Structure 1
Amino acid sequence: MRILLLSFYFPPDVGPGAFRSGAWVEALKALAPEATIDVLTTQPNRYASLRQHAPRLEQLGNVRTVRLPLPAHRSGFVDQSKAFGAYAWQVRRHLRREPRYDLVCATSSRLMTAFLAALIARRQRTRLFLDIRDLFVDTIGDVLPARLSPLVPLFRAIERFTFRQADHLNLVSGGFADYVRRIRGARPLSVVTNGVDELFLNVSFASSRPRLDGRRRVLYAGNVGAGQGLHLILPALARRTLDTHEYRVIGDGGQIGLLREATAGLPNVRLMPPVSRETLIDEYREADVLFLHLNDLPAFEKVLPSKLFEYLATGKPVLAGVAGYASAFLSAQPGVRTFRPTSLEEAQSGLAALQEDSYARDHFIDEHRRSRQMRELARLSLQLLDPTVHGRIGDAGRCHRTRKR
């Protein structure tokens, strides 16, 4: 059995795409030890400000990972397009030397990795499993520069072809299901969400930091782009709470410049570049409140941010500016306050209400362990070749199959 997996990000790179693809491969290895698994990915490039290196060719057991070099790029649309073009060209060239695969898999947020996998599967006349982490076309109309808006119809055509080409399509958010059904019809569809990494299990997140000035630390860790819209809420919130809270932002992205400009002169805000996951755990430990925000755009009402799983696993209080599916998902979790995106009054009120140090979320952590979630994703993938494959452990890693309404 030969399996090809495409992912633009892969360990040791950081970010949700890398963490998810790495765990997916580990689950495929466990369920199909006889299979040959080829991973075609890139050299670590998630953040320009976080330099990492990895072997170009790596063979670990039955998994061969090929990391393709990319030109230097930042987070802008044009730079990202050039980087993906380089990746796609090298993938197509590499596959000319390879025998046909039995199964092509891909995990994709910006659609194009999934599109590349669909083209490969069609050319090889093989089965295709896609894991969709974001609705790129649904979002792009709100964040794409006006000069590039004529490209939207092209992306819609690419999306339609890609979604319909897949033999099975998985979504990381149940909020995506209705949108995808309108394109895909009643063909196989599932929801396997993001999860809690083993790194966050059996770790104490109790803070040892003395609060000499009495201010509580609010931490945001993740991408700083148009989708987060941090510059629309965090500077104003910091001004309102100068004497009671300090803010730390760890991350990078296309709008870090806007955030830096908007927070200039605020003594209670510190911006930091991306850090390793081990260092990030230390930052979580020393935080009093974990902060998340999505921009006030209709497309983001369908999103379930991967960062929420990390945040909830720490047991720390969480303040989240989210709406729609994510807000409903969080409603059952203790120690979480949500507010309407960009609403300063609601954000300040929610922050003031989060006074406890920690909350028990054991059931959530057990239900959403990434290893279990990815075991389910691997099972669904392999069932395209062998319907008898079983991968569940009790009720964990549950797969929510969506039904046509």
Structure 2
Amino acid sequence: MKKILYLTFYFEPDLCAGSFRNSPLLKELAAQAQGKATIDVITTLPNRYGSFEAQAPEFESRDNYTVTRVAIPKHQSGMKDQILSFKAYYQHVKKLVKGKQYDLVIASSSRLFTAYLGYTIAKRIKAPLYLDIRDIFYDTLQDVLQSGLVKGFALPVIKQIEKRTFAYADHINLISAGFKSYFNSYTTTNFTFYTNGIDDMFLENKANENAVANHPKKILYAGNLGEGQGLDKIVPDAAKKLGDDYEFIIVGDGGIKNRLIEKVQAYNLKNVKFLPPVKRDELLKMYEECDFTFVHLNDYDAFKKVLPSKIFELACFPQPIIAGVGGYANSFISENIENKILFNPCDVDDMVKQLQSYSYQRIRRQNFIDKFKRTSINKEMASSMLKYL
């Protein structure tokens, strides 16, 4: 029987895109590997949001796979916190795999270091390496790091880590086709472009396609409140201009939440409400009851290549999507999604202008749903992984 090591920093029941991607993908992989391989998943105990706690066992054994969850320090998603958290994960994983042999190493990574961890293990045991890359960390740091001194030290180190990791990999899946040009130099590696997808629970939503809008109209954002989302650059000013006809409901937590709250308070806004992270079944009900769904990325060059996972779940609901994104994500939404208000990141005036002139309607986006079901994507992606056994 072959053995597979599967590394992902986030896994169920954590609340984040990494968990939502890897949990069902792993189950599909295990189903396809039945009778051929066993899988060791090494992840972390739920930690995505400091304000949300979910209970999960540190170890569980299922049919042909095990899940080991590593305890890491509590954090608020700041850079220093993330470094300490990953250091703990890295050290624990190294101990857990010491002396073990695997026939395939799979790593799903947004911040590069889980990919690098997979590389160090695969290289040591001379195993094939399959990477699922969900973000380009180097690009993100170029935009996010403010200190020239820190940039001058960190970026060359990150670039070397990146080169070693990607050059060794037998296969790299890129979650966004917008990443393709960045990886052109890795000519000996096989590439696929399996995107995020739509989970079954969102397909079964009970949102009323014929409902009229509330007053005030409710705009729902649910997810991470970090530098990457840049909500502090769009929500307070948009809420101020839109006035009492619209209400923003912000559900989540993250590094800039306090900054966002402070700006809302400074404007003395009554039409922006904040709620802590909620479980997915509660979130589903909130999506069903809102008038608009909302996704936004900061105006950074790095985000011109990405495709936010949230787009896939929002498109399942009949409500119009408000999307402030640039680059590839903007093109993707423009070509694939009906009934949207699409504008460039942080462009408050354009968002407000389009909203105020929008004639409210709800439609079911059946073609999009059929094309991007997570179950179909996972079947193909799992099959592509097993080719390396």
**Partners of 2:210 and 2:371 in 1: how far apart?**
29
Residues 163-193 of structure 1: CA deviation (Å, up to 9, x unaligned): 11110000110000000123x1252111000
Structure 1: unaligned runs, 5 residues or longer? 386-405
Letter in 2 for 1:246: E
Contact 1:171–1:192, Cα closer than 8 Å, also in 2: yes
Offset at 1:350? 2.3
**Where do residues 72-87 of structure 1 align in structure 2 (5 Å cutoff)?**
72-87=74-89
**Partners of 1:357 and 1:93 in 2: how far apart?**
55
Query: What's 1:136 paired with?
Result: 137
Alignment TM-score, normalising by the size of structure 1:
0.91
Offset at 1:71? 1.4
- Residue 167 (structure 1) aligned with residue 166 (structure 2): no
Aligned length: 382
**Partners of 1:354 and 1:275 in 2: how far apart?**
30
**SS state of the match for residue 316, structure 2?**
helix
Find 1:301's aligned residue among 299, 304, 307: 304
Query: What's 1:113 paired with?
Result: 114
Instruction: Give the 3 Å change call, closer, same or farther, for CA 210–178 of structure 1 in structure 2.
Output: closer
Letter in 2 for 1:342: C
**Where do residues 3-402 of structure 1 align in structure 2 (5 Å cutoff)?**
3-34=4-35, 35-97=37-99, 99-146=100-147, 148-149=150-151, 150-182=153-185, 184-206=186-208, 214-264=215-265, 265-332=268-335, 333-385=337-389
**Partners of 1:164 and 1:250 in 2: how far apart?**
39
Query: What's 1:388 paired with?
Result: none
Offset at 1:42? 0.4
**Partners of 1:201 and 1:22 in 2: how far apart?**
17
Give percent identity, aligned residues only. 41
Instruction: Give the 3 Å change call, closer, same or farther, for CA 210–318 of structure 1 in structure 2.
Output: closer
Residues 111-151 of structure 1: CA deviation (Å, up to 9, x unaligned): 10000001100001001100000001011111024153221
**Partners of 1:158 and 1:350 in 2: how far apart?**
44
Contact 2:317–2:364, Cα closer than 8 Å, also in 1: no
Letter in 1 for 2:377: Q
Letter in 2 for 1:49: S
Offset at 1:209? 9.3
Cα-Cα RMSD? 1.5
Letter in 1 for 2:53: R
Q: Spell out structure 1 runs of 4+ moving beyond 4 A.
A: 207-212
**Partners of 1:119 and 1:204 in 2: how far apart?**
46
Contact 2:213–2:291, Cα closer than 8 Å, also in 1: no
Structure 2: unaligned runs, 5 residues or longer? none
Letter in 2 for 1:188: N
Contact 2:102–2:125, Cα closer than 8 Å, also in 1: yes
**Partners of 2:126 and 2:155 in 1: how far apart?**
28
Offset at 1:63? 1.0
